[in-house]
Structure 1
């Protein structure tokens, strides 16, 4: 039987490994930023803090991460958390890492007092959209042609779900 992913909070010491993971897994299937080029910026900076990240380890190796943040500083939006990045290393795909990170992020959002969670995903990223839908996220909006990526336009799909345990996930 395959090992289950271990999810933990990121530490400042994870920065180099997470930066390498980001560079290794960059793809126009999910990235809206240009391909990283040397010299590389630090993974953690003033707007990307270690406490915003959960990391997954599988077989004792870093397998992925998820970033969870408040989407705005507005008090009226304090009940919402937003996923701003979910990455799984190629060798760990299909082993439950993405699902474990997503579930851990929802639990962390609940722990922080959130009652709702949202994310944005490129329209052509079918594997990610299927995972989110399977975990109860529903499409709440689409921004057609929002990004020009490698010569083609890509939709920005807005998805969200309630974190209330009494509210059933969207079909």
Structure 2
């Protein structure tokens, strides 16, 4: 699919990735990017009826699973079928700073284009400066802010809505 950096390969997720993705998701949990409490045993399955392997792209770096991105239609409405939404992005600690997140973003936009989507949107917590910088560098712009949308550890945090219009080339 995409190989933006030497040794980085992006592919569709498979059910066989479930254990590794669940482990990655738990290890990368942070109040910087999630509004959910820290996962505790017994852990919920990574894949379920709302989170299918087809929704995920995974990055492998030097043959190891390094990260994932989830790309879905934001609603089931026909009038919204031209939009894809990123609903999760995680990169393992050992792989950070090596272009994995950017490769995943580029591959997600490529997939959205191949599905004839015209826009990709996402939501990011206002205090997550590294993610916001990444998304901005990839061409996403702030399209709205829900001030104080979440109360996290006693602090009100903004929900920032970002979007990117895709080129019409398919």
Larger mean Cα displacement after TM superposition, 91-100 or 148-157: 148-157
1:65 counterpart (64, 68, 86):
68
Matched, 1:99 2:98: no
Correspondences of 1:1-171 after superposition (within 5 Å): 3-165=6-168
Number of residues of Structure 1 aligned to a counterpart in Structure 2: 165
Aligned residues: CA RMSD:
1.1
Task: Please list every run of at least 4 consecutive aligned residues from structure 1 whose deviation after the TM superposition is greater than 2 angstroms.
Answer: none
Unaligned runs of 5+ residues in structure 2 are: none
> Does the residue aligned with 2:70 lie in a helix, a strand or coil?
strand
Unaligned runs of 5+ residues in structure 1 are: 167-171
C-alpha distance after superposition, 1:116-150 (max 9, x if no partner): 11000000111110011011100000001111112
CA distance in 1, matches of 2:7, 2:103: 9
CA distance in 2, matches of 1:85, 1:4: 23
- Contact 1:4/1:96, CA 8 A, preserved across alignment: no
CA distance in 1, matches of 2:64, 2:73: 28
